[in-house]
Amino acid sequence: MKRPVLIDLDEASDITPATAPMVMDDVPQGAAMQKVAALATRRTSPLAKWFWSLLVSIIGFVVSMAAWNFVTDLTARHPFLGMIFSALLVVFCCVLLAIALREISAFSRLRRIDQVQTEAAQAHANADLPTARKVVDHLTSLYAKREDTAWGRTQLAERAPEVMDADGLLDLAERSLLEPLDARAVAEVQAAARQVAVVTAVVPLALADVFTALTSNLRMIRRIAEIYGGRSGTLGSLRLVRTVLSHLVATGAVAVGDDLIHSVAGGGLLSKVSRRFGEGVVNGALTARVGIAAIEVCRPLPFQALKRPSVTGTVQRALTGLFGNA
């Protein structure tokens, strides 16, 4: 048997096991949120698009022909029952049309917010007062029926004529109309981050954390869009999710870095709790990152007069004390 070998060091090291930095390879990486980002941003090949389009068209054609033949045969044999079934089909088609119109309206509202964002950026960049006044008019029209912006609209209407520069006018509109909406949006982000963290930490079922992260992020982004006036439908929500997560993936923000771990974990929390609690904290932190990005995407004006919500601050307020007794 070989005996232990003692190696004498020339110089004593100042690093001890107590002061050594945390090993990053053993830190939870937020696997659930990584999978959600991969699913949402995965590109579909043109061949797959053609396949699904043709499949849906064929199934729709077959179902339509089967329904038509069934109605004609039923009407020929039992005219009264055929009339009832025809009426049901007409009502069903009307419901489908209403759903389609709602989706079109949702996309229209999203495009309207995109237009306001573009005009606001141009007004800020060029100090264009007429364009800034146009942006303010669009914002006032967008929130005209909102009770939570009534006070802000009143203040904006009273003070806007006195402002003679574009930046000052847009800053006034931001403070008057968007400040209360920002608070509600940040609250939604905190709630979603807390839910994802809890489910990841305490539910041992396979894929439960991925399902919760996916549904929580979908619901969070949809509610944020509604807060800022987007009111996205089902397809609009999917478009928003893809836009937000594509932006985060492109910038490398859906990843765990040393700054995120130390800001959320207090420098050493993840080394003191279980692996699952660590995954919960990191998944909650990544959900907060997605929420802040969704606010920037859905917000009609960029953050100028008001401070952009901090990811670290949002995560700390959402998760403080959550695993305190772990």
Give the tens place of pLDDT for each residue, 83-103: 888 888 889 889 989 888 887
| 12, pLDDT greater than 60 | no
Do 192 and 220 form a contact (C-beta atoms < 8 A)?
yes
The pair of three-digit structure tokens given for residue 213, joined into one six-digit string: 């992260």
> What average pLDDT does this structure show over 122-129?
86
The pair of three-digit structure tokens given for residue 134, joined into one six-digit string: 């146009």
**DSSP-derived 3-state class of residue 306:** coil
Query: Distance (Å, rounded) from C-alpha 199 to C-alpha 280?
Result: 7
Domain ranges within the chain, ordered by starting residue:
32-40+49-319
Give me the pLDDT at residue 95, please: 92
Higher pLDDT, 168 or 280: 168
**Average model confidence (pLDDT) for the chain?**
76
Q: DSSP assignment, residue 147? A: G
- With cut-offs at 50, 70 and 90, classify the pLDDT of residue 32: low
Helices (H), the chain: 31-41, 46-77, 79-126, 129-142, 150-159, 166-173, 179-202, 208-227, 234-250, 258-265, 275-298, 311-319
Does the pTM surpass 0.85? The reply is: no
Contacts of 72 (CB under 8 A, 6+ apart): 82
Query: Distance (Å, rounded) from C-alpha 140 to C-alpha 152?
Result: 10
Residue 124 CA neighbour count, 13 Å, CB half: 15
- How far the first Cα of the chain sits from its last, in Å, is 43
